[in-house]
Amino acid sequence: MAGHSKWANIQHRKGRQDAARSKLFSKLSKEITVAAKMGDPDPEKNPRLRLAVKEAKSQSVPKDVIDRAIKKSQGGDAENYDEIRYEGYGPNGVAVIVEAMTDNRNRTASTVRSTFSKNGGNLGETGSVAFMFERKGQVVYPADAGDADDMLMAAIEAGAEDVESGEEEHVVWCADTDLNDVSAALEDALGESEATRLTWRPNTTTELQLEDMQKLMKLVDALEDDDDVQRVITNFEASDDVLAQL
């Protein structure tokens, strides 16, 4: 399995999810508010909101926090956020995509640029690395949801394109426009997923050794620490030995 698919597991082993729980909840709530404001406040009538709520639930965001975020979207005091994508390079030329929501473009651009520079990276122009990725839907199940063959069969029947099965999880990939239908079909067959989201899947990867992996993790951690940054995607590849040393 490509290294990028193990990023969440690296974070989990580092204990980052618990340490940054409040920040994570805030970012998920922001996505819910924006999705509800852009469309219908009913998740059943708003595909983007439905995905945002499902992702929040998978991260154990309390129901009252989710409800508050939706209610906030209908109030006159709801902030207006711009969605921006930044692209750049990390250690050894690894490609990095940063998705942000901001009420101040200048502030966010300055912070992202500075974070790249301080951590051995370079912020590029729009389109400088996006060609190395495809926009995809991603559904994640734990390894005990079934063996690789069973997962592949369930994914095919659900309309997915591919499955990456590893020791800790199964990652199901589908066309971005099919994510709602695929996730619903998988849920009927396998139960609730660990995560359901739109993301970027690398079509080419960059191999990193331990030193560069450590530098990349530092860069990604710094980017994700910014309240305006929603998610960071990279195209790194690393051997199991390198990942184990982390």
Q: Which CATH architecture has domain 133-201?
A: 2-Layer Sandwich (3.30)
Q: Do domains 82-131+204-245 and 133-201 have the same CATH topology?
A: yes
Question: What's the pLDDT at 150?
Answer: 92
Q: Alpha-carbon torsion 103, 105, 106, 112, what sign?
A: positive
CATH of domain 3-73: 1.10.10.200
Cα 150 to its chain centre, rounded Å, is: 25
Q: What is the pLDDT of residues 160-201, one digit of tens each?
A: 999 999 888 999 999 999 998 999 999 999 998 988 899 999
Per residue in 204-243, is it b (16+ CB within 10 Å) or e — as a string?
ebbebeeebbebbbbbbbbbbebebbbbbbbbbbbeeebb
Domain boundaries along the sequence of the chain? 3-73, 82-131+204-245, 133-201
Q: What is the pLDDT of residues 33-62, one digit of tens each?
A: 999 988 888 988 988 899 899 889 888 889
HSE (CB half, 13 Å, CA atoms) of 86? 29
Residues counted in the chain:
246
Q: Domain 82-131+204-245 in CATH: superfamily?
A: YebC, transcriptional regulation domain (3.30.70.980)
pLDDT grade for 4, boundaries at 50, 70 and 90? very low
Q: What is the pLDDT of residues 55-92, one digit of tens each?
A: 898 888 899 999 999 998 887 666 788 899 999 999 99
Model's pTM, two decimal places? 0.85
